[in-house]
């Protein structure tokens, strides 16, 4: 771990830091000399007796890093004094992929620094975490960043303090630098590798791997058309897919596949890297089933890769819709080794109508679906991500009219596109 921290030191003055306050990112950077810059916004509102710290998870082991970051917030909330306030933060090299380090920014308003600093020092001894303290200069006009070194490391030189200065927002939201094969998976092998590494710590991972098809089976092209129906919960997917199955005499499949249902609750508790790999592999199992059923008849699929990707992208990228990767970005491309459907239909309804339908159903929803209900911004980001995915792109259909009207509209699309 000491070597890993040393490897970050030459990059330190090139890195940008982002702290999330009330859903908005505030950026700052560090430099060796101060040139009269203003105090960064994240420090400007701090009280004279407030102490500030940052914690960044920096293990080179991606699984360990994901697991530790997932547990870190709970540990800090449990063990820190109640006067401490946590905010999500990250550090990254602008426009450099896979340079993102995630962590937390801590403002400590407790009477004594001892309990907080004891906990942070303990973290640097045992865990893959990089801790910095921020020191206020005279009159609060200057702030410096001090990198903590593990006390038991005799090989590390004492780190130099850097001045903290404001930084402009980067060209790309920092999370977009880390989406590929982390929040969204674009190949069987990348997702498989994550779950394979989890076998020792998550027994269910081995069970998932035993269900997986070969890569060739996940890409085998069916003889009959494949129609995917996408959309948020309560947009009418179940009603429409059942009607299409009956009308067309088609097979109906759902993603994630039924065989993964016993493991879903376990993986939903895992950090995004592991959870997303699980759902990505579910798409490959569904693709194998599509290939088999598609030899005999047309196949209707209730959700597929579009859902997996859209929710992951919207969750990973904080802030407004404009923070999403731009249209045409590689994050919206279809995995080259995954079967492509003939047609993807995205059902949409007015948000209030969707809420009314959800209340009428009275069913439990996933954490992400609950987020849709009270966070309009998240819903807009999910819908925008849906619209930007290509290979194939979604055809949007208003599902507000009667179920029969929606069915007839979708049948027209299918007959025009798939010649059924």
Residue the block writes with tokens 């199955």: 245
pLDDT > 60? residue 45: yes
Q: For position 47, what pLDDT does the model report?
A: 85
Lowest model confidence (mean pLDDT) among 98-112, 147-161, 281-295:
147-161
CA–CA separation, 225 and 418 (whole Å): 6
Structure tokens at 380: 């807009």
| 192 has pLDDT over 60 | yes
Looking at residues 122-126, what average pLDDT do you find?
85
Q: Which two tokens stand for residue 222?
A: 């069916």
Q: How far apart are CA 303 and CA 286, in angstroms?
A: 10
**Strand order through the sheet with 299-302:** 251-254, 299-302, 226-231, 343-348, 394-398
Q: What is the pLDDT of residue 127?
A: 81
Query: What DSSP character marks residue 224?
Result: S
If pLDDT is split at 50, 70 and 90, which confidence band does 367 have? low
The widest CA-to-CA distance across the chain, in whole angstroms, is 77
- Phi (first) and psi of residue 17, to 5 degrees: -115, 140
Q: What letter would DSSP give residue 86?
A: E
Cis before 262 (ω within 30): no
Q: According to the model, what pLDDT value does residue 342 have?
A: 95
Report the range of poorest mean pLDDT among 187-191, 213-217, 380-384: 213-217
Look over the chain and give the mean of its residue pLDDT values, rounded to a whole number. 88
Closest CA to 367 of 228, 294, 270: 270
Residue 402's CB is within 10 A of a number of other CB atoms, namely 10
> In terms of pLDDT, which residue wins out, 375 or 129?
129
Structure tokens at 33: 């000399």
Report the pLDDT averaged over residues 262-272.
94
Q: For the segment 310-366, what is each residue's pLDDT rounded down to a tens digit?
A: 999 999 998 889 999 999 999 999 999 999 999 999 999 887 777 776 766 554 455
Residue whose pair of structure tokens reads 């045992």 in the numeric block: 126
Task: Give the pLDDT mean for 257-262.
Answer: 95
The pLDDT confidence band at residue 215, using thresholds 50, 70 and 90, is low
How confident is the model over 135-181, as pLDDT tens digits?
998 766 789 999 987 654 444 445 678 999 999 989 888 889 899 99
Residue with tokens 């001090």: 146
- Cα angle for residues 398, 402, 405 (degrees, 5° grid): 70
Query: In this structure, are strands 129-136 and 143-147 parallel, antiparallel, or unpaired?
Result: antiparallel
Give φ, ψ of 20 to 5 degrees: -90, 115
Calpha distance 302→255 (Å, rounded): 6
CATH code for the structural domain at 221-261+284-418: 3.40.50.300
CA dist 236 and 136 (Å) reads 56
- pTM for this prediction: 0.87
What pLDDT is attached to residue 46? 85
Contacts for 369 with CB less than 8 Å, ≥ 6 apart? 232, 233
Question: Domain residue spans in the chain?
Answer: 2-177, 221-261+284-418
Burial of 357 (0-12, 13-18, 19+ CB in 10 A): middle
As given in the structure block, the two tokens for residue 22 are: 């009330």
| pLDDT number for residue 69 | 92
């Amino acid at each position: 771990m000491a070597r890993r921290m040393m490897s970050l030191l030459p990059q330190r003055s090139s890195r940008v830091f982002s702290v999330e306050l009330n859903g908005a990112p505030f950026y700052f950077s560090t430099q060796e000399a101060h040139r009269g810059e203003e105090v960064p916004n994240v420090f400007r509102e701090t009280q004279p007796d407030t102490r500030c710290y940052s914690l960044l998870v920096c293990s080179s082991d991606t699984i360990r890093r994901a697991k530790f970051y997932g547990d870190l917030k709970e540990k800090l909330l449990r063990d820190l004094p109640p006067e401490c306030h946590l905010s999500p933060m990250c550090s990254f090299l602008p426009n450099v992929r896979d340079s993102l380090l995630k962590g937390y920014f801590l403002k400590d308003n407790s009477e004594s620094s001892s309990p907080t600093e004891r906990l942070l020092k303990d973290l640097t001894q045992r865990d893959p975490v990089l801790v910095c303290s921020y020191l206020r200069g005279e009159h609060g006009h200057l702030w410096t960043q001090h990198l903590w070194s593990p006390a038991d490391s005799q090989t590390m030189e004492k780190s130099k303090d850097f001045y903290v200065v404001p930084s402009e927002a980067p060209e790309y939201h920092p999370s977009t630098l880390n989406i590929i094969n982390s929040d969204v998976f674009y190949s069987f092998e990348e997702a498989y590798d994550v779950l394979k590494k989890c076998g020792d710590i998550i027994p269910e991972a081995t069970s998932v791997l035993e269900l997986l098809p070969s890569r060739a089976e996940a890409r085998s092209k069916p003889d009959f058309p494949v129609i995917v129906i996408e959309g948020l919960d309560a947009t009418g997917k179940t009603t429409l897919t059942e009607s299409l199955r009956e009308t067309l005499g088609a097979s109906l499949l759902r993603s994630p596949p039924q065989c993964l249902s016993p493991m879903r609750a376990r993986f939903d508790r895992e950090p995004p890297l592991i959870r997303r790999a699980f759902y990505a592999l579910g798409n490959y199992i569904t693709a194998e089933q599509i290939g088999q059923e598609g030899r005999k008849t047309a196949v209707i699929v209730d959700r597929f890769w579009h859902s997996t990707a859209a929710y992951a992208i919207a969750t990973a990228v904080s802030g407004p819709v404009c923070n999403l990767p731009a249209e045409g970005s590689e994050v919206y491309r279809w995995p080259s080794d995954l079967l492509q459907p003939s047609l993807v239909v995205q059902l949409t309804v007015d948000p209030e109508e969707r809420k009314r339908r959800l209340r009428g159903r009275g069913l439990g929803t996933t954490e992400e679906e609950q987020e849709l209900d009270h966070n309009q911004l998240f819903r807009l980001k999910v819908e925008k991500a849906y619209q930007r995915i290509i290979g194939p792109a979604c055809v949007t259909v208003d599902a507000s009219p009667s179920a029969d009207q929606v069915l007839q509209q979708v049948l027209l699309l299918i007959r025009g596109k798939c010649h059924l």
